[in-house]
């Protein structure tokens, strides 16, 4: 543990010379009252240059938030699910332009037979939810949900629009991964991504890891819990098929975190997110997750325009977010993923940067000012 003398905030970890701007931005977020517990990690040219954590992981006990603390990272999970699909494509096992039904025949029902795998990754399939309301317990049953997703009619003509598939994304892409690899998304991520890198990213949390998970806190507005900023014409469609909504902030729900919801229930930390993104653009400890051509295909823009769910401009590669005004990530050329509450991961191949951030105080801005300040500082540290 080290102390930043000027501000008296106890930091777990440190940063290399030349990356002090990231440390200062991290400390400022705490000084400004924007954090309870958080961590930030940066890789540069394949080297770990920033690895910091501070604050508390549990407000009632005062337990410290460390670099090893785990926490739910919500839709940041989507980027890791996208990575798994892109790895299968890179290895010649998955054709992103093939119809989904080639791998998952049941998916051809209700006029979906021509939907290519690519449109699952770009949120263009139109399968936003189910017509039949299901219970939270049913949502945790993979086969139950998959059968109903396969039979579901799209909400729009596939490929004609884009809208954030908040929950269905993980089932859609995840079932293709399962059909191709013979493993669930969680199993594939564990064996092909996390284990080779020595990273902590779980889609389906083992019971043994539960003691490491931080308590989450939700910011409040006017004394009432704030709501996510979905505001497009299809916003209600993405969640109203689960009744009542799962308490996604409740880290006491062992069944929730042990299940696989590959769009939303990943558990990780900043150092693991950053390491995974670093290994997506180059070798880390001898492990490179994507070849150069595959990485460039994955970050090539597939869609930019109005998001029918979020009600804002969105831009996507093959499952990855691309920079927009509301989500600048690491700037032009970067690609990444973002989760409810503030967690982020991104990489910028030309700058040779990779970034991970995880806070346990969940803010609701689409462009979380904490992450924006940290990402900007990381980019400035390499001279741009």
Convert the pLDDT of each residue in 125-164 to its tens digit: 999 999 999 998 999 999 999 999 999 999 999 999 999 9
Return the CATH superfamily for domain 2-79+187-381.
DD-peptidase/beta-lactamase superfamily (3.40.710.10)
Taking the CA atoms of 372, 215, 276 and 53 in sequence, report the sign of the dihedral they define. Answer: positive
- Determine whether 75 is an active site residue: yes
Q: Provide the token pair at 76.
A: 């940041």
Q: Interhelix angle for 168-181 vs 142-151, to 10°? A: 100
Total Cβ atoms within 10 A of residue 225: 11
State the average pLDDT for the chain: 93
Q: What is the pLDDT of residues 174-231, one digit of tens each?
A: 999 999 999 999 999 999 999 999 999 999 999 999 999 999 998 764 444 444 555 8
Q: What is the pLDDT of residues 350-383, one digit of tens each?
A: 999 999 999 999 987 778 999 999 999 999 999 7
Rounded-to-integer distance, Cα 107 and Cα 292, Å: 32
Cβ neighbours of residue 287 closer than 8 Å, sequence gap 6 or more? 196, 197, 279
Q: Interhelix angle for 76-90 vs 270-281, to 10°? A: 30
Task: Check residue 88 and give its pLDDT.
Answer: 99
CA angle 74, 176, 267 (to 5 degrees): 20
Rounded-to-integer distance, Cα 321 and Cα 123, Å: 11
Tell whether the model's pLDDT for residue 72 goes beyond 70.
yes
pTM of the model: 0.95
Task: Check residue 1 and give its pLDDT.
Answer: 38
Rounded-to-integer distance, Cα 297 and Cα 99, Å: 19
Beta strand residue intervals within the chain, DSSP E:
2-4, 9-15, 37-44, 47-58, 63-64, 71-74, 201-202, 217-218, 220-221, 224-225, 266-268, 303-306, 313-316, 335-338, 344-348, 353-359, 361-362
Q: Give residue 2's pLDDT band: very low, low, confident or very high (50, 70, 90).
A: very low
Task: Check residue 250 and give its pLDDT.
Answer: 75
Task: Check residue 229 and give its pLDDT.
Answer: 53
The catalytically annotated residue of 28, 66, 75, 181 is: 75
Tell whether the model's pLDDT for residue 23 goes beyond 70.
yes
Rounded-to-integer distance, Cα 18 and Cα 246, Å: 43
Task: Check residue 323 and give its pLDDT.
Answer: 97
């Amino acid at each position: 543990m080290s102390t930043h003398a000027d501000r008296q905030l106890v930091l777990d970890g440190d940063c290399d010379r030349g990356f002090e701007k990231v440390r200062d931005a991290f400390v400022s977020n705490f000084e400004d009252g924007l954090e309870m517990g958080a961590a930030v990690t940066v890789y540069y040219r394949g080297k770990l240059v920033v690895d910091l954590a501070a604050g508390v992981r549990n407000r009632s006990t005062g337990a410290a938030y460390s670099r090893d603390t785990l926490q739910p990272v919500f839709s940041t999970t989507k980027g890791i699910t996208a990575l798994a699909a892109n790895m299968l494509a890179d290895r010649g096992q998955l054709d992103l332009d093939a119809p989904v039904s080639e791998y998952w025949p049941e998916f051809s029902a209700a006029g979906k037979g021509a939907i290519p795998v690519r449109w699952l990754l770009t949120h263009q399939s139109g399968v936003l939810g189910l017509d039949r309301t299901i219970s939270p317990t049913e949502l945790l049953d993979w086969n139950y949900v998959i059968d109903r997703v396969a039979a579901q009619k799209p909400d729009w003509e596939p490929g004609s629009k884009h809208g954030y598939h908040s929950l269905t994304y993980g089932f859609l892409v995840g079932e293709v991964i399962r059909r191709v690899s013979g493993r669930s998304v969680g199993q594939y991520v564990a064996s092909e991504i996390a284990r080779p890198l020595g990273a902590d990213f779980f889609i389906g949390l083992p019971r043994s890891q539960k003691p490491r998970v931080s308590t989450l806190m939700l910011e409040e507005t006017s004394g009432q819990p704030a709501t996510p900023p979905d505001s497009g014409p299809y916003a209600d469609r993405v969640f109203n098929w689960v009744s009542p909504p799962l308490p996604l902030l409740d880290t006491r729900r062992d069944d929730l975190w042990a299940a696989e919801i590959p769009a939303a229930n990943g558990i990780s930390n900043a150092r693991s997110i950053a390491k995974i993104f670093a290994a997506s653009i180059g070798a880390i400890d001898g492990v490179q997750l994507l070849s150069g051509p595959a990485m460039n295909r994955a970050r090539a823009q597939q869609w930019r325009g109005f998001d029918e769910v979020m009600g804002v401009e969105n831009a996507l590669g093959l499952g990855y977010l691309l920079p927009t005004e509301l989500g600048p990530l690491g700037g032009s050329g970067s690609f990444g993923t973002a989760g409810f509450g503030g967690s982020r991961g991104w990489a910028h191949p030309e700058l040779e940067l990779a970034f991970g951030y995880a806070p346990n105080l969940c803010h609701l801005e689409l462009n979380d000012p904490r992450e924006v300040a940290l990402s900007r500082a990381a980019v400035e540290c390499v001279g741009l």
